[in-house]
């Protein structure tokens, strides 16, 4: 966490240095470029993922899958949300098959999830990207499953234990986030910045 914050400060400094060194070309110079938004977006997604991942792994190792599930239920959403406050950007982790309804992808996000999925199917490289919407800029990055995820997002009777499954159903009666295999698109990071005025 400390390391991430430090990295973030370094990135911010780099960006602000870059901006001030371009003072000569006036006006446009204060706005971060698309590349810089991509860099910041990546950093925010990475550090939020690390905070989530570290807490999740600790919970699984210390107390097992069900306790970890409860931990996610109580904390995942607010953890992501608190990173939004820390970074002053809207940081969302959304899915086409959400567990928590609050993580439902909107129309635009669904479009990008579909295109990431197509790329994975065709074994193409999937890269994060930035989309400029005038006064806002959004960074999108895929969230891919690995074997560890399947104890809570896998297939019942395979990776997903019946006791874990029934706890999921208790906490999320409308859960859609099961049946995944490893290396599938589970969702995306959607990080929106309000552009600074010129």
User: Pick from 11, 76, 110, 156: which binds ligand HEC (CB under 6 A)?
Assistant: 76
Min CB(49)–ligand HEC separation in Å: 9
Q: Which residues contact 37 (CB under 8 A, 6 or more apart)?
A: 130, 137, 139, 193
Give the Å distances, CA to CA, from 129 to 28, 35, 39, 144, 159: 22, 9, 10, 16, 32
**Cβ neighbours of 109 (radius 10 Å):** 20
Query: By CB under 6 A, is residue 38 in contact with ligand HEC?
Result: no
Q: Given the complex with ligand HEC, which of 77 and 129 has the nearer CB atom? A: 77
> What is the per-residue binding string for ligand HEC in 86-115, x denoting contact by CB under 6 A?
-------x-x--xxx--x------------
Give the Cα separation of 183 and 78 in Å (integer).
26
Stretch that binds ligand HEC, among 20-28, 83-91, 107-115, 140-148 (CB under 6 A): 140-148
Binding mask 145-184 for ligand HEC (x = CB under 6 A): xx-xx-xxx-----------------------x-------
Residue with tokens 């690995």: 146
């Amino acid at each position: 966490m400390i390391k991430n914050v430090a990295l973030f400060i370094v990135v911010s400094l780099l960006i602000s240095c870059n901006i001030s060194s371009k003072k000569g070309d006036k006006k446009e110079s204060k706005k971060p470029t698309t590349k810089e938004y991509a860099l910041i977006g990546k950093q925010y997604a990475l550090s939020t993922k690390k905070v989530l991942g570290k807490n999740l792994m600790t919970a699984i190792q210390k107390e097992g899958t069900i306790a970890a599930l409860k931990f996610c239920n109580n904390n995942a959403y607010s953890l992501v949300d608190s990173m939004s406050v820390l970074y002053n950007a809207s940081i969302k982790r959304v899915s086409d098959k959400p567990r928590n309804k609050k993580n439902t992808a909107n129309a635009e996000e669904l479009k990008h999830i579909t295109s990431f999925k197509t790329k994975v199917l065709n074994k193409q490289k999937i890269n994060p990207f930035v989309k400029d919407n005038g006064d806002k800029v959004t960074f999108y990055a895929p969230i891919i499953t690995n074997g560890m995820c399947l104890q809570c997002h896998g297939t019942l009777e395979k990776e997903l234990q019946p006791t874990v499954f029934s706890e999921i159903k208790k906490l999320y009666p409308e859960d859609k986030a099961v049946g995944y295999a490893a290396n599938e698109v589970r969702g995306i990071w959607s990080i929106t910045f309000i552009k600074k005025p010129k």
